[in-house]
Amino acid sequence: MKRLLLLVTLLYLLVPAVAFAHPLGNFTINRFARVEVAGDRLYVRYVVDMAEIPTLQRVAPHVARLRVTIDGRRAALRVTKTALAHPPGAAGLRTTRFQAILAGPPLARASQIEVVDRNYAGRIGWKEIVFGAQTRSASDELRAYPKDLLSSPLDVTHAAARLGPTQDTPPSLLAGKALAAPDRIAESGFASLVGRRHLSALVILGSLALALFWGAAHALSPGHGKTIVSAYLVGSRGPPWHAALHGLITTATHTVGVFALGGVTLLLSQWIVP
């Protein structure tokens, strides 16, 4: 009995932990900017990594609110190249990977470069700015988020550094697996199972049995006024059909409440980010 209780507890703790595919959560919009100089020209490599929900909402990737100043003067940025990918995420949903190369003005000498990133200002997520072509990125340009920073991601939207002409070559776009960055996704067997379109009869029956087990385990746990209802049935010497009726009412109201909460959450997610 003790072993069974321990197994149930471990499963209860582990199953919710693998529900998310994107390591920073399904609602995040993460962005990265690398400011560098190739020859005498200023460039910005800009990366946007959207999780499943923003992708489902068709939030368009953009760089419109990225501002760069050179020695206090605003620099005009021109998008020269872009790349877009939609790698798989949780439960059959897609994520978005967007990359853009922006060209700025030439630099005659070493100058003070200041960057302010106001894109997606109201959305939670990883925000990172680095200077120089060889400078290490903490997230590998949003391809590998550090596990020790997932609960408190970087929030850098304003940074400055001094850059000058170099012998570096202009930045290029990533493609294929490097652009999609599949390793950043915390893939789980549970999430991939839910996302399948075709399931065998054995999997369906096993899922129903598992759902029945978890439902029974949840019903036996404290809550939902079960103690009060039980005391009422004992005190009033209620027949079995009274107990069945109370159980059906509790199940129906609980299920409707969960669906209602989910619907409200999806509707409000357009204006309020969880």
Residue 203: the pLDDT is 78
Q: From the centroid of its chain, how far is CA 40?
A: 37
Is-contact 70 131, C-beta < 8 A? no
Q: Average pLDDT, stretch 80-89?
A: 92
Residue 258: which pLDDT band, with cuts at 50, 70 and 90? confident
Distance CA 98, CA 83 (A): 6
Out of 116-130, 185-199, 260-274, the most confident range is: 116-130
Of the listed ranges 41-45, 91-95, 218-222, 235-239, the one predicted with least confidence? 218-222
Distance CA 274, CA 272 (A): 6
Residue 205: which pLDDT band, with cuts at 50, 70 and 90? confident
What 3-state DSSP class applies to 211?
Answer: helix
Among 144, 122, 118, CA closest to 62: 118
Distance CA 162, CA 114 (A): 9
Distance CA 93, CA 149 (A): 25
Strand bridging mode 78-85 / 96-106: antiparallel
Is-contact 125 273, C-beta < 8 A? no
Match 């005391």 to its residue by tokens. 231
Instruction: Determine the straight-line distance between the first and last CA of the chain, rounded to whole angstroms.
Output: 39
Q: Average pLDDT, stretch 209-229?
A: 74
Residue 224: the pLDDT is 61
Residue 183: which pLDDT band, with cuts at 50, 70 and 90? low
Distance CA 266, CA 217 (A): 28
Report the percent of the chain where pLDDT is more than 90: 43
Report the percent of the chain where pLDDT is more than 70: 81
Residue 105: the pLDDT is 96
State the sign of the Cα–Cα–Cα–Cα dihedral 208, 212, 217, 218: positive
Asked if pLDDT for residue 231 goes beyond 90, the answer is no
Looking at residue 51, what DSSP letter applies? -
Instruction: Give the pair of three-digit tokens for residue 104.
Output: 């700025």
What 3-state DSSP class applies to 109?
Answer: coil
Of the listed ranges 13-22, 61-70, 159-168, 231-240, the one predicted with least confidence? 13-22
Instruction: Give the pair of three-digit tokens for residue 130.
Output: 């680095």
Q: Average pLDDT, stretch 169-185?
A: 78
Q: What is the pLDDT of residues 235-250, one digit of tens each?
A: 887 788 877 887 788 7
Q: Which helix (H) or strand (E) holds 165?
A: none
Instruction: Give the pair of three-digit tokens for residue 271.
Output: 């204006």
Residue 98: which pLDDT band, with cuts at 50, 70 and 90? very high
Residue 196: which pLDDT band, with cuts at 50, 70 and 90? low
